[in-house]
Structure 1
Amino acid sequence: MSAEESWTVTATIPDRNLKPAVNETSGFDSGTGIFRSVYNLDEHHVLPTRPNLDTATYVLSQFPSPYEAESPIALIDSATGGKVTYAQLHRSIRSLATGLYHALGVRKGDVVFVLSPNSLLYPTICLAVLSVGAILTTANPLNTESEIAKQVSDSGAKLAISAPEELHKLTPTGVPTVLTSKLASKDESLTIEELIEACEPVEIEQERPTQSDTAAILYSSGTTGTSKGVILTHANFISVMTLLKWCVEVSKAQQDVFLCFIPMFHIYGLAFFGLGLFCSKTTTVLMQKFDFKAMLDAIETYKVSNIPAVPPVILALVKHASKAGCDLSSLRRVGSGAAPLSNEVAEEFRRRFPWVELRPGYGLTESCGAATYYVSDEEAKLHSASCGRLLPKFCAKIVDPETGKPLPPYKEGELWLKSGTIMKEYLGKKEATAETIGTDGWLKTGDLCYFDDNGFLYIVDRIKELIKHNGYQVAPAELEAILLGHPQIVDTAIIPVEVEEAGQIPMAYVVRAANSQLTEDQVIEYVARQVAPYKKVRRVGFISAIPRSAAGKILRKELVLHSKNQTISRL
C-alpha cells in the first residue's frame, strides 16, 4: 500500500470524540440548524404519494364498508340524540355531490361558500363539495353582513350554502344560495336535505382534482391584522389527515368517543371533525355551539372520552367543573390548541383531573392546523409547559429575527416550519405570501419560540404582540398566566399602551369573579411581586368578558381600540 493510499484509509476513520451532527433526542442538526421530528410514521400510516388523489376520495377510502350489516356510528347530535352511521354518511356525501354537480352545476374549481354553525350536515357538505372538485370556503356565522360580503367577493364564491337564520347576511351579495334546511314550513327554497333525499348517487364524469389543486380557502382569524385567505391544497389536507390518523391511533386504547364544539369553519374543527376523524372510524358527539353546562352534560350522557379543546374551555373546567356536579369519569384525554395554554392552568387541570391526559398542541391555519403533538401522557407531564414535539414529516428552525441565523436549543427566536401541510399561498396577496413563505418553502410563523434539548417546543408569544417597554421585551402570555393564578380573576388579557416616556407599558384587562371587589392596585401589586420591574402591569381595566375569536384567541386589537376610546372619553 502506498503512502497516499494509507493516508486515504486512515482519513476516513471517524473521530469517536466527535458528536454526531443530528441529535437523536432533540432531532437538532447542528450542521444546518434544523430540528427534525423524532417520530416516524409506521406501515399503517403511509403518506399517499399518488398525485391524482383528492381529499374526499382519501377520506371515503378510510370509511368502514358501507355494506356492513351494522355500520358504526359516525356522528351524534348532543341536543337531540340523533345518530348518523358511516354508511348513511357515505351515501349522503355521494348523493349531495351528485346534486351539486347535476342539479346546481357546480364544477371543478368553483368556490362554494359555507355559512353555518356545527350540524350533522356540516361534514357531508364539506366532503360533497370536495368530491366534485369544488373549493370550500367557510365563515363564522357571527360575522357581520359586511364581513360576509367581503369574503364572498374575495374568494370569488359561485354558490353559497347557508343555515336559514344566516340567509339575510348573504342576500345582499347576490350569490345563489341553498339553505341547509327550511326557513319555514311554507318556504319553497331548495335545501341541502332535499338534494340529498332526491339525488341517487352516480359517478361524476369530469376530471378529478389532484393533490396539487386547491381544496379550500380558509380565512385566518386576523387577531393582529386583516384577515387573509389561506389557500390549502388537497395534498395539505391529505397530509394532515394522515398525521391525525397516526395521532389518534398511536395511543388508542379503546373505542374513542370525541366531543366536538370547536367550530368546523375553523381549521382546527374542519381538519379534525369535518374531515380527519372519519379516517379513524371514531364516533363524534356534535354540539352546535359551545355551552359549558351542555358540554358537561354531553360528556356524562354519551361517555365522551376525548375533547379537542381550546384554553378558555380548559380554564372553565378548572374553575367551574367541580361545582357543576357532573360525572366526568369517562374522560381520558383533553387536547388544547388554537391558542397558548399557560403552564399554571395546565398544572391545575392535572391536579383537579388526575385521570385525564392533557395534551396541548400547536398549529396554524397556514400549516393546516398541524405542527406538534404529545405521543404519551408521560411526555406531557414531564414537559408540561411545552406544546409537544414536531409531528412526523415536520422540520423546524428557530431563527434569530435580527440576524436571520438558525439557533440551537434553548435560544428564543421566530419559529419556521416546513412540511407537506404548509399552505400554498395567501389568496391574491403576493407580498404577504413572500413575507410568510420563503423561496425555500419555510413558513415563518411569527411566533417567538424555543426548543429544549429533548425536542419539545415552547411558545413564548407572538413576536408582533411583544410589548417594548424601555427597550425590554415583555411577553403578554407570561403576565396573563400569572394573573390567571389569582383566585378572583376569571379571565384576562394584556395589551400594549403607547406612552411617550417608555414607548409602551403593559395594561391588563381583567374579568373579576362574581362578587369580587378586586381593585386596580391589588392587581398591579399581585403581578409586581412575581416579575422583574420592567414587566410590571401599569394599568388595569375591568371588563365583563375578554373578546376572543371562535378558536379562543384573544382579540387584542379590539382591546387596544377599547383602551384608546376610554382614554379619549376621559380627555
Structure 2
Amino acid sequence: MTTSPWYSLHPYPEVPLFHYLEQAAARHPGRPSLISPGGETRTFAQVHEAARRASRLLRSDVAHGDRVVFLAPNSTAYAVALYGAMMAGATVVPVNPLLLPAELQPVLQDAEPTVAFVSSETRPVIEALRAHTPSLRAVHVLDDFWSVLDSLPGGADPVAISARDDIAALVLSSGTTGSPKGVMLSHFNLVANLRQTLASGMSPPYSGLLNYMPFFHVYGFAAIMGQAFAMGLPQVIIPRFDPALILQLSGEYQVHTLFSPPPALRGLIAARKAGAPALTGYTKLIVTGAAATPPDLWDEAESVFGIPVCQPYGLSEGTAATNINPLHRIKRGTVGPPLPDTEQRLVDMETGQDVPVGGQGEVWVRGPQVMRGYWRRPEATAECLMPDGWLRTGDLGRFDEDGYLTLVDRLKEMIRYKGHQVAPSDLEAVLLTHPAIADVAVIPRADIEAGEIPLACVVLAPGATADTEAFIAFVNERVNPIHHVRALVFVDAIPRNPSGKILRRLLIERERAGSL
C-alpha cells in the first residue's frame, strides 16, 4: 500500500461547495469572477447575489434533495444556476448537451428531475421528453437567464446542508443508451478534493483560469470552477473548444496553469503551428487529464510551448483527482503519488494480495474524495466500493520506489474517445438490431488524435452482404456524435467465455497485432 507524501489536511471542513463562493464574495466583492469570451464580466459579489436569486427562483419547484438537470453548453449563466440549485438544497445533474432524445430519456427516468436548465438549442429535446418525465415541473432557458435574475427583487439564503450526507451532484459515468450510472458526490467529497488539489499549488493566487472543460464533466464544474471560487480567481467560461481563442486568452488573463486533456492539447499545438498566439510568460504549466497523455504528445507539447506538462489521475468515482505529480518533481510518464490523505493499493486480481513495487495490479483508492456510491445502483456500488472504503478503479497500474503511479491499462471496458467515455455494450446493442449482423463486439483502437476510437468487430448473419459503410451509418444515426463507431471489421466469430461474456481482451490483442 502507498500513502500520500503530502502533509495531511485533516480535518476537512464540513461545509457545502458553495461556501467558497460565499467566502470569495465577502473577501473580494469587486474582483472579477465569471467572464465570457467576449469580455462581459461579473464580480464575485454579483455572481454570489445571482446564485442567491437563482436559489430563490427554484424554491417553488425544488425540495431539499430533488434533482436539477442541466443540458446546455458552458456559460456564465450555467455556473450561476448550478450554484443556485445547490443553495436550494438540490442535487445537480449536469448532462452532455449532445445526447439524443433516446439517450437522454433513461437519464431523466433515473434521475427524476423536478427542474431542467437548458439552452435554446437543447430545449426541444427536453420538451420532447416531458411527457415521459412526470417529475419535471419547470424548464429554464439559460440564454436569457441573467436578465431573469436581474428582474427578481432579491435572493434567498441557502438551505441548511449536511456536507457528508447531502448529495451535491450526480455525475454520469455513462451518459449513453442503456444503464447510465449517476456517481453520487457529496458536498464533503467535492470540498475535500478541492482542498487536496489546491495543496498541489497548481493555481497561484495571482493567476486567471480558462474553463473550457464541459460542465457535465467533474473536471469542469468541480475541479476548475471550484479552484477559481476557492482562490478568488477570475475564470473565463468558454462554451466550445476554440484553440486559437484559448491561446489568446491565456495571455490576456495571465493564466498560470492551462488545463487541457490530450485531444484538446493536440488542438492547441496545431493552432500554434498554424499561427495562433504563443503562450506568454505567465503560463508556466500544462495539466492534462481525462485521458492518458501519449509520450509523443508530451514531447511535442513541451517542445512547442516550452513549459512542463503534468499528468494527474482521477475518475468521477474519486470526485476528480486522486494522484498528481508534485510540481517540483514531475516524473514523465507517471501520474504522480496519491494526493493528501489518499491511500492506494495495487491488488493482484487473482490472489487479492497487494503486489510488490514494480508489479502490476488493479488500482484501489481510499480517501475523503471517494464517492458515496452509484445512484440507485446498489449492486454496481457493491462491486467497486468495499465496506472499508476502498474503491476499485478498474485501472491497472504499477508503483515505482517513490510511490509514483504509472497507469498500464484499463480493466474497465469503457472506451475513451477525446476524454469522453463510450460504452461498447451500448453500441453493440444498436448494431445487433441490424438484421444482417449475427454477433458483434466493440473494442478500442488506438488513435493519435482521439486517444481511442470505437472499432466494431462484426459477424455477418448467414447470407448477408458485408457493407462497412452501411453498418457504420446504421449505428451512427442512432447515437450522438461522441459515441460514433469510427471503424468496422468483419470476423468469423466473437470469442466468449463459457457464460457468454465477450473476451474483449483477445480481440484487442489481435487488433494490436494487426491480425483482425
Normalising by the residue count of structure 2, what TM-score does the alignment of the two structures yield?
0.78
Identity across aligned pairs (percent)? 26
The answer to whether the 8 Å contact 1:361/1:374 transfers is yes
Counterpart for residue 4 of structure 2: 37
The answer to whether the 8 Å contact 1:108/1:209 transfers is no
Superposed, 1:39-54 pairs within 5 Å as 39-41=6-8, 47-50=11-14, 53-54=15-16
Superposed, 1:271-290 pairs within 5 Å as 271-290=222-241
- CA shift for structure 1 position 302: 3.5
Measure, in 1, the Cα distance between the counterparts of 2:24 and 2:403: 34
Counterpart AA for 1:35: T
Counterpart for residue 148 of structure 2: 194
Superposed, 1:55-66 pairs within 5 Å as 55-56=17-18, 58-65=19-26
Change (3 A) 1:459 1:379: same
Counterpart for residue 96 of structure 1: 54
Deviations along 1:328-372, whole A, 9 cap, x unmatched? Answer: 123222111111111221122212222x23111111010101101
1:337 aligns with 2:286: no
Stretch of structure 1 that moved more, 360-369 or 89-98: 89-98
The answer to whether the 8 Å contact 1:98/1:199 transfers is no
Deviations along 1:216-244, whole A, 9 cap, x unmatched? Answer: 11101469985311111111111112123
1:126 aligns with 2:78: no
The answer to whether the 8 Å contact 1:264/1:273 transfers is no
Counterpart for residue 184 of structure 2: 231
Deviations along 1:246-303, whole A, 9 cap, x unmatched? Answer: 23xx365561111111001111111123433210111112211112222233234434
Deviations along 1:165-222, whole A, 9 cap, x unmatched? Answer: 2110111332233333468xxxxxxx56414531412335x55344222111110146
1:315 aligns with 2:271: no
The answer to whether the 8 Å contact 1:126/1:274 transfers is no
Structure 2 unaligned spans of 5+: 131-135, 416-442, 460-471, 494-516
The answer to whether the 8 Å contact 1:264/1:274 transfers is no
Change (3 A) 1:158 1:90: same
Counterpart for residue 418 of structure 1: 366
Measure, in 2, the Cα distance between the counterparts of 1:549 and 1:458: 32
Change (3 A) 1:36 1:379: same
Measure, in 1, the Cα distance between the counterparts of 2:124 and 2:154: 31
Counterpart for residue 96 of structure 2: 140
Measure, in 2, the Cα distance between the counterparts of 1:252 and 1:304: 9
Counterpart AA for 2:44: Y
The answer to whether the 8 Å contact 1:96/1:196 transfers is no
Measure, in 2, the Cα distance between the counterparts of 1:60 and 1:259: 17
Counterpart for residue 525 of structure 1: none
The answer to whether the 8 Å contact 2:164/2:187 transfers is yes
Measure, in 2, the Cα distance between the counterparts of 1:163 and 1:195: 16
Counterpart for residue 384 of structure 1: 332
Change (3 A) 1:225 1:421: farther
Counterpart AA for 1:558: V
- CA shift for structure 1 position 559: 4.3
State the secondary structure of the residue aligned to 1:143.
coil
Counterpart AA for 1:374: N
Change (3 A) 1:403 1:223: farther
Superposed, 1:196-211 pairs within 5 Å as 196-203=150-157, 207-211=160-164
Deviations along 1:394-421, whole A, 9 cap, x unmatched? Answer: 0010011111111121111110101111
Measure, in 1, the Cα distance between the counterparts of 2:199 and 2:214: 23
RMSD of aligned residue pairs (Cα, Å):
3.3
Superposed, 1:424-503 pairs within 5 Å as 424-465=372-413, 480=446, 484=448, 493=452
Counterpart for residue 518 of structure 1: none
Counterpart AA for 1:322: K
Change (3 A) 1:302 1:71: same
Change (3 A) 1:326 1:177: same
The answer to whether the 8 Å contact 1:244/1:277 transfers is no
Counterpart for residue 299 of structure 2: 347
Aligned residues: 444
The answer to whether the 8 Å contact 1:363/1:372 transfers is yes
Counterpart for residue 207 of structure 2: 256
Counterpart AA for 2:180: S
State the secondary structure of the residue aligned to 1:215.
strand
Counterpart for residue 161 of structure 1: 117
- Higher-Rg structure is 1
Measure, in 1, the Cα distance between the counterparts of 2:170 and 2:414: 29
State the secondary structure of the residue aligned to 1:379.
coil
Superposed, 1:539-554 pairs within 5 Å as none
State the secondary structure of the residue aligned to 2:122.
helix
1:399 aligns with 2:347: yes
State the secondary structure of the residue aligned to 1:60.
helix
Measure, in 2, the Cα distance between the counterparts of 1:549 and 1:171: 18
State the secondary structure of the residue aligned to 2:121.
helix
- Structure 1 residue aligned with 2:141, among 180, 200, 211? 180
Structure 1 unaligned spans of 5+: 1-33, 184-190, 468-475, 485-489, 501-540
Superposed, 1:16-31 pairs within 5 Å as none
Counterpart AA for 1:445: T
Counterpart AA for 2:39: G
Counterpart AA for 2:392: K
Deviations along 1:44-87, whole A, 9 cap, x unmatched? Answer: xx54354xx3222x223431526x6x721112211x11111111
1:241 aligns with 2:202: no
The answer to whether the 8 Å contact 2:21/2:44 transfers is no
Change (3 A) 1:299 1:55: closer
Measure, in 1, the Cα distance between the counterparts of 2:480 and 2:199: 29
Counterpart AA for 1:397: R
Measure, in 2, the Cα distance between the counterparts of 1:151 and 1:142: 13
Counterpart for residue 71 of structure 2: 115
Counterpart AA for 1:93: A
- CA shift for structure 1 position 304: 3.0
- Structure 1 residue aligned with 2:165, among 212, 232, 244? 212
State the secondary structure of the residue aligned to 2:407.
strand
The answer to whether the 8 Å contact 1:99/1:196 transfers is no
- Structure 2 residue aligned with 1:171, among 114, 117, 127? 127
Change (3 A) 1:491 1:338: closer
The answer to whether the 8 Å contact 1:259/1:285 transfers is yes
